[in-house]
């Protein structure tokens, strides 16, 4: 669990290259108390924003993703690389982000990044606790940020 006091603090979680794209959802009230992570889709449905605290990290980390607009329209099932939920191409698809000015990386994820809700529903159906699954989810997010984007956590 972590707390974000101000809009400035929230924006500082993102890399400088991403800050210009961040648009908070209407009606966002600060401070925010975040249980696992914070995710939202911009009003146009083009960008998806993620804020989490890496295991052992002291500050929130933000990633701004773009939805793949070139995706196929076939409703074949896909699997989210982070929560392992399956869904059609309108639910799970490629989210990309800039590594630098010349390179982008992508990962197949739930397009709304509501992985924690899907995990919680699955664990409730199974009669199990979601705590360990959410921990693994945050670890996968951190690994992506570290390995694919070269982000460091302090």
Say if residue 72's pLDDT is above 90: no
Tens of pLDDT, residues 15-63: 999 999 999 988 899 999 999 999 999 998 899 999 999 999 999 999 9
pLDDT of residue 76: 76
- Gap between the Cα atoms of 26 and 52, Å rounded: 20
Give the pLDDT score at 65.
97
Tokens of 7: 């809009």
Tens-place pLDDT, residues 73-123: 666 789 999 999 998 888 999 999 999 999 999 999 999 999 999 999 999
Give residue 3's pLDDT. Answer: 95
- Give SS3 for 89: coil
Burial degree of 132 (CB within 10 A; 0-12, 13-18, 19+): exposed
Cα gap 63→48, rounded to integer Å: 8
DSSP states along 91-123 = TEEEEEEESSSS-EEEEEEETT--HHHHHHHHH
- CA distances 104 to 5, 66, 94, 154, Å, are 31, 10, 12, 24
């Amino acid at each position: 669990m972590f707390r974000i006091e101000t809009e400035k603090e929230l924006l500082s979680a993102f890399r400088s290259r991403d800050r210009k794209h961040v648009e908070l959802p209407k009606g966002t009230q600060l401070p925010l108390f975040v249980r696992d992570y914070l995710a939202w889709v911009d009003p146009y449905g083009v960008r998806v924003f993620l804020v989490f605290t890496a295991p052992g990290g002291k500050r929130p980390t933000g990633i701004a993703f773009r939805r793949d607009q070139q995706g196929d329209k076939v409703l074949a099932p896909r699997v989210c690389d982070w929560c392992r939920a399956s869904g059609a191409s309108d639910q799970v698809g490629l989210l990309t982000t800039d590594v630098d000015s010349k390179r982008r990386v992508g990962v197949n994820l739930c397009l709304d990044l509501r992985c924690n809700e899907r995990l919680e529903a699955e664990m409730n159906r199974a009669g199990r606790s979601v705590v360990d699954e959410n921990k693994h989810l945050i670890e996968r997010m951190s690994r992506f940020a570290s390995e694919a984007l070269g982000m460091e956590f302090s």
